[in-house]
Amino acid sequence: MDEMIGYFDENVSKYDSWYDKHEREYHEQLEFIRERLPSGKGVEIGVGTGRFASQLGIPVGVDASEKMLSLAASRGIFPIMAYADRLPFISGYFDFSIFIVTICFLDDPVASLKEAGRISKEVISVILEAGTEYTNRLQQEKKGFYAYAKFYSEADMVRMYTMAGLKLIRNEYSDLYTGGMRYRIRYVAGINQR
């Protein structure tokens, strides 16, 4: 985990510039999420540089990378440095928490989902789904940020939500394209069953 955080800290500009170089993909992903996002007080877990939170009206962002959080703060996000499986919030504080292409970078996604369920009424995960031409290529190349990623299928997400004690209330996807390759973005939402 420390090696990955170090890589993200050292490559903040490279990470953030992807959104400028892939403006169409970024806006398609934003719209896909915006159309489904609930109202209320939210937190993005794994906020990175704040590209999504700042555009989606999510005021609070959590990340383990200090340098990523610094850029998120410059975009108006209230930054909290913490790990996804140990969040410094009281139980039930948020209406929703959201992981946007973050689950693939976590050591223990189930513990992180469970912790998100503790602090919020609704837990949302937006993933790049395993098994597409694009994610297969990223997994094979193991370069850059995605050298640290493990992609998950729909069945994996359903299983992890169940293990975390979350009841699914939404499970939708859209097939999008980047560099001529198809990828699937999936939106999974659940509520605490405890």
pLDDT tops 70 at residue 87: yes
Give the confidence band of 11 by pLDDT, cuts at 50, 70, 90.
very high
How far apart, in whole angstroms, are the C-alpha atoms of residue 68 and residue 62? 10
pLDDT tops 90 at residue 189: yes
Q: What is the mean pLDDT of the chain?
A: 96
Cα–Cα separations (whole angstroms), residue 13 to 8, 9, 19, 20, 67: 9, 9, 11, 11, 10
Strand partners, 121: none
Write out the E strands in the chain.
Answer: 42-45, 60-63, 78-81, 94-100, 120-128, 166-178, 181-192
The pTM assigned to this predicted structure is 0.96
**Residue 173 contacts residue 129 (beta carbons within 8 Å):** yes
**Residue 60 contacts residue 116 (beta carbons within 8 Å):** no
Q: Which two tokens stand for residue 192?
A: 């605490």
Predicted local distance difference test score (pLDDT) of residue 149: 95
Predicted local distance difference test score (pLDDT) of residue 194: 65
CATH node for 2-192: 3.40.50.150
Predicted local distance difference test score (pLDDT) of residue 193: 77
pLDDT tops 90 at residue 59: yes
pLDDT tops 80 at residue 171: yes
Per-residue pLDDT averaged across 151-170, rounded? 97
pLDDT tops 90 at residue 1: no
- Picking from 130, 131, 187, 135, the residue whose alpha carbon sits closest to that of residue 161 is 187
- Read off the pLDDT of residues 105-114 as tens digits, 9 standing for 90 and up: 999 999 999 9
Domain ranges of the chain: 2-192
